[in-house]
Structure formats: structure tokens, C-alpha cells
Amino acid sequence: MAFELLTPTEMTEADRLTIAAGLIDGIGLMRRAGDAVATLALERFPDAEGIAVLAGPGNNGGDGYVVAEQLRRAGVAVTLWRAEAPRAGTDAAIAAAECGIEPRPLAEYAPQPGWVVVDALFGAGLARPVDGVCAEALRKVESAGARVVAVDLPSGVSGAGGEVLGIAPQVNLTVTFFRKKPGHLLYPGRTLCGEVAVADIGIRHDVLEAIQPKTVENNPANWIADFPSPAADTHKYSRGHVGVFSGGPSATGAARLSAMAAARAGAGAVTLLAPGSALAVNAAHLTSIILRKSDSLEDAIEFLEARKPGALVFGPGAGTTDKTGAFALELISAASGGAGAIVFDADALTVFSRQRRDLLQKAHGAGAPALVLTPHQGEFKRLFPELLDDKSLSKLDRARLAAAQANAVLIYKGPDTVIAAPDGRAAINANGTPLLATAGSGDVLSGICAGLLAQGMPAFEAASAAVWMHAEAAQKFGPGLIAEDLPLALRPVLSDLAGRPGGERP
């Protein structure tokens, strides 16, 4: 299975390259797309009393004409509705001419009980809000609670960003072609698509070499080759050392969650760096985690020079004072040559929002360690307010721009977490679960990421793996999950990943 995601523009280019290569013409692709939709509609809804096809004026509507004709030939009761005829000379016009069903005015459409609706009004490339008779038809479908099959995407959902343009129906099945689009995975589009089936319509994989898509659906196939696997002669420090900074005596739990997660993710040694006032409370809760006093930047530098940790976690329970921000900024400089990467989470992100210019300067400085920032929506708004306020940008766009600005890998958290690298690569996570909406789960994610970084995973791959593992562990654990459960819940996930030796892809 392939996990590249194509924007509408990239999908158009895939069609063009396929046609230019002489493998199949445009109407041939349209026929195959319509055949696939008709076949899946019959498979999923064998009890349908009939199927109503709503056809738009473009290529999505052209697919709809093919669907209607295939259903007619299969002996299904089918009706065809449109607001306007396709433009003469287009592939959609050819498909309409080949369809043996007389189209009716879309304005007169009324849902029938027991009938399934095929939404072929607009596809992934829609760039304006759905309005007029098309919007009214979709409202009728929604009010009737009809079962719906969408061609490519539910009409009104942006293929590029998942936003709803005007109105969009809730559908049961979405049939898309060659590759998924970002709009299938980003909210709110993701909630509207129902089951997403990707149909093979004859576009060859090698067109991707020319397109070079930079977005993927987050999956082990994308990073398993870089996933750490201890060698036979490994010792604890060669497996990677993680340093986690603790807050004061009343704010130690978050850092311990990160530390335990880093250890469970495979780091051979984890040191919790705590203020002297917090040593006793941390010591009462730790066994395998090393505890070290760290009251100042000098103490932290001494640790970095002595142990050369592969990764650090700073932010959980750190506090939001200016002193915290100054320490975090100096830590970036101090880590140059002393630590391979820093994961900044929680309070660190809040204080950085007041010192963003200094953060960006440090992050772009010569010799700076790899940085990973893990904002949720509120933290992202504080850090990058101009990006969140720009309504023309999707979550994917915002993550990419923020990663480039900060010269950091960005984990933009949420039910559709986006991981973005400064070079433009991005992954959209698809296995998120509401079980993770619990206090402390983000601290665990930071620890997993640091554990993988310390073992030598590149930052983008480590962040992507951490997000996937975090969600997979929650799903395997199930209801009743709290953050303390997550580190141990990683065990079956790690066992599954270990069953793919040598970077074997699923």
C-alpha cells in the first residue's frame, strides 16, 4: 500500500502525465473511475432500492455519468440529476453522451426512502463555496439522512485542506483515485468522508517520481527503515541517553511521564534533571530513571559535557516565567555539540511565544541542535498567531510554514496531528484517538520522541514515529486510559514494530 498524499494540483498532474505517456486517455480514466464507484456502491449497499446520481458540470460529474450508466447496465433502478450540462468537447461531455439515462433538473431532486445517493457534484479541486441548486440538493440529502457515496470527496470539502466550502454532506463511503488527498485526513473533511476507498484506475506509480509529493499519511512504512534496533553488543549508553528537565517540587509529574516514555521507547539511559528542592519528591517515584540535581544553566552544561545526551526534553512542568524562557534559549546554545536534539513542549512553548524573535534566531544559528516543537492548537496560536489568523491557510499549510520559520520539526497536535519539517516534508496522522484527550498525554509524546531521537532517528522520522506509536498505544489500551498507562502501553506497539526486521515495510 502506498501512503503518499496528493494535492488536487498534484493529482491533476498525475492524470496529465498518464495521458501524455499514451497509457490511457482522459475519457478512459473517467470510465475506470466511474466503474470503480459503481462497483463499490453495489458492494457496500446491496439492499438499496435504487441509486440517485447527482452530477456536477465538471470531471466529477463526468464520473457520475459513467456511474449511472454502469448501474443501469447492472439492472439497478437509477436516476440522474444535474444543474447544467458539461461543457462541449470535454471528457465529461463524452461520458454524458454515452449515458443512457435522461438527466433531470437538479432543482427538482427529492430524496426517496431506501435509495442511495451518489454525490458526483464537485471533486477535490473545488475552490469556491457550494451554493445555489447544488447546495440545496445537498441540504435535501442531509435532511433525508440518505446513505451517500461520494466521488473523490464529499462535495464542498477542500481536497487540499479539508475545509468545508459552503456546505458538505456527511457520507458513508468516499471513493477516490490513485492516492488519498490531504482533505481526506484533515478535519473537518475527515469526519465527513466516512470510509475512504482508493481505487486503481490505471495511473502508474512512477508518475510520483516526476511529481515528488512532499506529504504522506503517517504510517510505519514511511519511517520503519530508520527505526532503532539494538545490536547484539549494545550497552545502555550506546542505546541513547535522554535528559529530561523537571519542574519544581509541585510540578514534577509531567517530567517523570516524559522520562518514563523515553525509557520505554528504547533509550538506554534517562536522566531527570531536577532542582534541589524537587529531588526528594522525584526520588520517591523513580527507580530506573537516573536523578541528577540541576539548579542552574551551569549544572545543565556540566551534564551535557559529561554525558553528551542524544536528546533533551524541556518544558513539561517548567513554569511560564521569563526565567524559564531565558533558560530554554540558553539551553539551545549550550546544547550545540553537547546534545543532538531538544524537544520543547508545554510551558516552553508558552514562554517562547513571548520571545519568538530570540527563538528563531537561536534555531537558525550555526551548530544549533535539531529542534522539535509540539504545540497544540492554543500553543500554536500563541507561537504563530499570524499563521492561525490567515484563513486561507489549511492546518497543513500552517504546520509547514511554522516549521520553516522555526527551523524545527513541528508536531502540530490534534485529532489530525500534522508533522512538518523545515524542508517542506509533512505527514498527516490517521490513527489519532480521543482516548489521548487526557492530562499528561502530551508529556508522554515528548518523551517517546526524545527516546527515538537519542537512538539516532532523524528528527522528522522520530517525530512521525512518536505520534503514530503514541496513538497506537492508546488504541491498544482502550477505554479508561490515563497518561500514566501510556509508557507501558507502548510494549505491544514496540513488539509489532520489532516484527518488521531490517526495515521490512508493511
DSSP SS3 for 422: coil
Nearest to 399 by CA among 415, 382, 386, 411: 411
pLDDT digit string (tens) for 370-418? 999 999 999 999 999 999 999 999 999 999 999 999 999 999 999 999 9
Of 327, 207, 311, the closest CA to residue 258 belongs to 311
Decide if 193 contacts 153 (C-beta within 8 A). yes
Are 172 and 57 in the same domain? yes
Check whether residue 298 and residue 247 sit in a common domain.
yes
| CATH number, residue 374 | 3.40.1190.20
In a shared domain, residues 251 and 303:
yes
Whether residue 222 lies inside any domain: the answer is no
pLDDT at residue number 231: 64
Q: Comparing C-alpha atoms, which of 80, 46, 50 is closest to residue 66? A: 80
Q: Report the CATH number that the domain containing residue 206 is assigned in CATH.
A: 3.40.50.10260
The answer to whether residue 219 is domain-embedded is no
Q: Where a domain ends, among 213, 246, 268?
A: 213
Give the span between the Cα atoms of 87 and 89, in whole angstroms: 6
Q: Give pLDDT, residue 506.
A: 35
Q: Is residue 226 assigned to a domain?
A: no
DSSP string across 85-100: PPPTTSHHHHHHHH--
What is the four-CA torsion angle of 186, 188, 189, 191, rounded to 10 degrees? 100
Does residue 481 sit within a domain? yes
Is 105 a domain residue?
yes
Q: Which ranges of the chain have pLDDT less than 70?
A: 1-2, 231-237, 500-506
Strand 78-82 with 426-428, pairing:
unpaired
Domain-ending residue, one of 213, 245, 273? 213
Coil, strand, or helix at residue 32? helix
Give the span between the Cα atoms of 453 and 465, in whole angstroms.
Answer: 10
User: In this structure, are 113 and 76 located in the same domain?
Assistant: yes
pLDDT value of position 236: 67
- 430 domain-assigned: yes
pLDDT for residue 237: 67
| pLDDT on residue 232 | 56
Element (H, E) at 120: strand 115-120
133: cell is: 441548486
| CA-CA-CA-CA torsion sign (343, 346, 349, 351) | negative
Domain that holds residue 147: 4-213
Instruction: Provide Rg for the chain, Cα atoms.
Output: 26
Evaluated on CA atoms 427, 500, 313, 280, the torsion sign reads positive
Cβ atoms of residues 239 and 267 within 8 Å? yes
Residues 164 and 257 in one domain: no
In a domain, 393, yes or no: yes
For residues 83 and 115, state if they share a domain.
yes
Decide if 114 is inside a domain: yes
On whether both 258 and 173 belong to a single domain, the answer is: no
Residues 4 and 214 sit within 8 Å (Cβ to Cβ): no
- Amino acid letter for position 111: P
Shared domain check, 164 and 52: yes
The gap from C-alpha 153 to its chain's centroid, in whole angstroms, comes to: 17
Q: What is the pLDDT of residue 239?
A: 85
Residue with cell 522525584: 282
pLDDT at residue 171, rounded to an integer: 98
Instruction: Please state, in angstroms and rounded to a whole number, the distance separating the CA atoms of residues 449 and 426.
Output: 16
Q: Based on the structure, what is the number of domains in the chain?
A: 2
113/80 same-domain check: yes
Contacts of 24 (CB under 8 A, 6+ apart): 18, 32, 202
Question: What distance in Å separates the CA atoms of residue 446 and residue 424, rounded to the nearest whole number?
Answer: 22
Do 85 and 121 lie in a common domain? Answer: yes
Domain end, chosen from 197, 213, 229, is at: 213
CB atoms within 10 A of CB 441: 22
User: Are residue 195 and residue 252 in the same domain, yes or no?
Assistant: no
Q: What is the pLDDT of residues 411-464, one digit of tens each?
A: 999 999 999 999 999 999 999 999 999 999 999 999 999 999 999 999 999 999
Question: Do 141 and 258 belong together in one domain?
Answer: no
